[in-house]
Chains A and B, each alone.
Chain A
Amino acid sequence: MHGAGAIGEPAQHHPQLEHQFETLDQQRESASLGMWLFLVQEVMFFGGLFLGYTVYRNMHPEAWSLGSQQLDITLGAINTVVLLASSLTMALAVRAAQQGKKNGILVNLALTTIFGLTFLVIKAFEYSHKFHDGLVPGSAFSPNPALGAPPQLELFFSFYFVMTATHAIHMVIGAGIIAVVAWMATKGKFTPVRHAAVENLGLYWHFVDVVWIFLFPLLYLLGRT
């Protein structure tokens, strides 16, 4: 019998309750726990990069300060605002799902995607500027001699590119998942009592935003005094 309870209990189930769960709350909490556990792992994933940054910055503060000054603080700040706005629209998409408003989900997911793409476009401009300035680590690394750059400047830019590229890849993945969730929404898959995909996509997106909240001051705001 589908959805039978414990022995002796009458079979009763909400149509959206999977059989292995006892209540909708438990179902929702399980999905949430799984996502948070993944995010904890992601914290450690990025944590390794932040650890390397911390160690080498303390060893070579002057190279880090000089490197940071080569970054465009205006573009970085604009990107921070753009990403925070995308988190707002993502949170509103989840709120729409909580209220069973399909159009609200779709509109806000679309806005989130637009903000996310804006971020990536600005990032692409920044990368091309760095390429033209000869600041991409490797055989092409040739900074302007007027900078009087110490050798560890290349190390700073290694961290800059790896950390922001890893972050950008996470955003691209997020954009892909947004497309999938949006498709699910158009199919009417989400209700006020079951919308884990939207909720967990939100958690993922906000996490990527939090990573940038730390990347921005650590990479862009050094040596500005």
Chain B
Amino acid sequence: MSSSSVHVSPLSTYIGVFAGLMFLTGLTVFVAFQDFGALNDVIALGIAGLKTTLVVLWFMHLKYSEKLVMMFAASGLVFILILLAITSTDYVTRIDILGW
């Protein structure tokens, strides 16, 4: 006979994650109105990354999932980074002949 070992997070965990998401949302709107130059993009994406981490680890239970499940999820991140990084190597190395 087997039993299932599912980790049930306490309600306070979910409320806490939600509070964190609310705070980060407010932060990203606030920072958008400040002039940090090129850093604005970095901060915006960084905050989005933090919110995603909160959602993925606790709402999607990845923190309490098996290692194989974690690897599947991580592969998504790996492939999207490859797509963006390698495509960028094309565009950032183009000489502006035609001004396109």
Q: A residues touching B (Cβ–Cβ < 8 Å)?
A: 12, 14, 17, 22-25, 28-29, 32-33, 36-37, 39-40, 43-44, 47-48, 50-51, 54-55, 58-59, 73, 77, 80-81, 84-85, 87-88, 90-92, 94-95, 98-99, 192-194, 199, 202-203, 206-207, 209-210, 213-214, 216-218, 221, 224-225
18 A–B contact pairs at CB < 8 A?
A32-B66, A47-B83, A48-B83, A51-B84, A54-B88, A59-B91, A81-B22, A84-B21, A88-B17, A91-B59, A95-B9, A95-B14, A98-B6, A199-B61, A202-B60, A217-B32, A224-B32, A225-B33
Tell me the bound Cα distance from A207 to B52 in angstroms: 9
Kindly list chain B residues whose C-beta atoms are within 8 Å of the C-beta of A95. Answer: 8-9, 11, 14
Check if A43 sits within 8 Å of B48, measured CB to CB: no
Number of interface residues of B (CB under 8 A): 52
Q: B residues touching A (Cβ–Cβ < 8 Å)?
A: 1-6, 8-9, 11, 14-15, 17-18, 21-22, 25, 28-29, 32-35, 40, 44-45, 47-48, 51-52, 55-56, 58-61, 65-66, 68-69, 72-73, 75-77, 79-80, 83-84, 87-88, 91, 100
Q: Which of B2, B35, B52 contacts A23 (CB 8 A)?
A: B2
Check if A98 sits within 8 Å of B83, measured CB to CB: no
Q: Which of A54, A55, A81, A98 contacts B8 (CB 8 A)?
A: A98
Q: Which of B22, B29, B76 contacts A43 (CB 8 A)?
A: B76
With contacts A84-B21, A95-B9 taken as known, whether A40 is within 8 angstroms of B79 at the C-beta atoms is yes
Tell me the bound Cα distance from A203 to B69 in angstroms: 12
With contacts A24-B2, A193-B4, A221-B44 taken as known, whether A87 is within 8 angstroms of B59 at the C-beta atoms is yes
